[in-house]
Amino acid sequence: MKSIRRGNCHSITLRAFWVAIVSSAAATPGAVGAEASETIDIGSRRELFVDHHLIDSLDGAALRLHHPHDEGPVLRFDKSWEGLFCGYATVIKDDDLYRLYYRGMPAAGSDGSDGECTCYAESKDGIHWTKPTLGLFEMNGNRENNVILAQHAPLSHNFCPMLDSRAGVPDEERYKALAGTRKTGLVAFVSADGVHWKKMREEPVITEGAFDSQNVPMWSEHEQRYVCYFRVFVDGFRRISRTTSKDFREWSEPVLMHYGDKPIEHLYTNQTHPYFRAPHIYVSVAARFFPGRRVLSVEQAEAIGVHPKYFNDCSDGVLMTTRGGDRYQRTFMDGFLKPGIGMENWVSRTNYPALNVVPTGHDEMSIYVNQNYGQPTSHLRRYSMRTDGFVSAHASYAGGELLTKPLKFDGSQLSINFATSAAGGVRVEIQDAEGLPIPGFTLADSVESIGNEIERTVTWKSGSDVARLAGQAVRLRFVLKDADLYSLRFES
């Protein structure tokens, strides 16, 4: 071992820590989680640690839920056709343009009333938004507005668009949308530009459901079909069902989504969509609703000007994921998006996340949230997060490990999204399927990763090339000290 200069106490501590780890590894190779299991082929996909899909064992480490950072309001619902009850927002990133769709509803009323319309805004950076004057519909006596659908009750109640990324989709159907209520079923719309819309056909395309919420369609590259997650009621609870289609016209028999052994809660909106950096993982930033859980007194409600029918409940946002099929992974029951300080955040149907998490920078992604519902200050708010930063595998200063299940990969380098303290680090060992370290890729060969990067290539003493292991069943052993590991990917 090389000598260490006097005063370099952190290096001494780190060196002692890693020596202890390596010694332990040499004494008991493959001892952690060495039982054989089915090999997962991840190819060159990016994998996030939002669930236990890849994880065989955790020792001294745990999955940690991270929370969005409040960036403040980005759009006020202050036009006469918008108002207190704007909701069911969708944000779509279309190349260099961000598009926002939301319900305009200035007065309380029944679902699907003539007072509802569908509004549109756009942005070049996802931060600064404008409401273009479109002139498509007359609202309050003039056409100087940002309305893309009006006088089509009940279809503006929950108009929910998607950008169709399916290969070969006709130009005139590049955008698609679903809208409707239980009475009408979900009616399909198409658009070439995301602004001018027409019905795909008069008859609804999905008919079995409650539909009294945002019903979200998407194209799944992973499943090679369209998928829609929509509102149903089961035993008095607001639940989610799923249906699929090859052509957006004919849809399969719906299936009810389940949560394993987790308790059933009211999920008002589901906002399920493919994560933009790992589209085989669908992220759901769902609105969790607690009917009758009142926080405000009558006097407090009057002070903030909330509508008298809309302060008897409260809600927050939760994080779920799914990889297809009828099961959500509720890795965390804790609130993901917690209500902020101030009585205005504790009223009915506020804190409802918009559909889609979108990138707003190399190291940042954004989530948008409807807030101050039923109040004159109703608006859309932006929250930021680290790219891939929903969940991390975390170990404290004391250190910990994560061992993956056997997996196969394509590529010649392993890249990780990680963050450490100045005292911390990440080391990676590659093992065979039985848990035996592979020569050249042992923990003793690993070059410690220290820092905070969205993409860092992992190296060993011999370099970063892992191509000779591609296609084989291997395990990855991550040894963490005061570190967070968010995602990994093998790439060329």
398 compared with 38, residue with greater pLDDT: 398
Q: What is the per-residue pLDDT for 8?
A: 36
Q: Are strands 40-43 and 407-409 parallel, antiparallel or unpaired?
A: parallel
Sorted by sequence, the CB contacts under 8 Å of residue 487 that are 6+ apart come out as 46, 47, 48, 49, 277, 278, 388, 416, 417
Q: Is the pLDDT of residue 205 over 60?
A: yes
Name the pLDDT band for 112 (thresholds 50, 70, 90): confident
This prediction has a pTM of 0.91
Predicted local confidence at residue 269, as pLDDT? 98
Residue 18 pLDDT > 50: no
Q: What is the pLDDT of residues 77-92, one digit of tens each?
A: 999 999 999 999 999 9
120 near 103, Cβ under 8 Å? no
Q: What is the pLDDT of residue 111?
A: 85
Average pLDDT value for residue range 365-393? 98
Average of pLDDT values for 437-451? 98
| pLDDT at position 3 over 50 | no
Q: Where are the domains of the chain?
A: 9-66+391-491, 69-386
Per CATH, the homologous superfamily of domain 69-386 is: Glycosyl hydrolase domain; family 43 (2.115.10.20)
- Residue-level pLDDT at 109: 84
Least confident segment among 31-35, 106-110, 226-230, 352-356: 31-35
- Tell me if residue 411 falls in helix, strand or coil: coil
- CATH number, domain 9-66+391-491: 2.60.120.260
Given this model, what pLDDT does residue 365 score?
98
What's at 448, amino acid-wise? E
What is the structure's pLDDT at 251? 98
The pLDDT-based confidence of 37 (bands split at 50, 70, 90) is low
Percent with pLDDT over 90 in the chain: 91
Three-state secondary-structure class, residue 10: helix
pLDDT at 314: 97
Q: What is the pLDDT of residues 306-357, one digit of tens each?
A: 999 999 999 999 999 999 999 999 999 999 999 999 999 999 999 999 999 9
Long-range contacts of 104-108 (CB under 8 A, 24+ apart): 104/77, 104/79, 104/147, 104/156, 106/80, 106/81, 106/82, 107/83, 108/84, 108/307, 108/309, 108/310, 108/374
Instruction: Please state the rounded mean pLDDT for residues 364-368.
Output: 98
Mean pLDDT of 212-237: 97
Nearest CA-CA partner of 258 in 278, 280, 242, 279? 242
Question: Which percentage of the chain shows pLDDT scores above 70?
Answer: 92
Identify the residue with better confidence: 30 or 156.
156
Q: How far apart are the first and last CA of the chain?
A: 34
pLDDT given for residue 24 in this prediction = 39
pLDDT digit string, tens, across residues 256-274: 999 999 999 999 999 999 9
Residues in the chain: 492
How much is the average pLDDT of 46-67? 98
Given a cut of 50, whether residue 284 has pLDDT beyond it is yes
Average pLDDT, the chain: 93
Q: How sure is the predictor about 34, in pLDDT bands with cuts at 50, 70 and 90?
A: very low
pLDDT surpasses 80 at 7: no
User: What are 461-473's pLDDT values in tens digits?
Assistant: 999 999 999 999 9
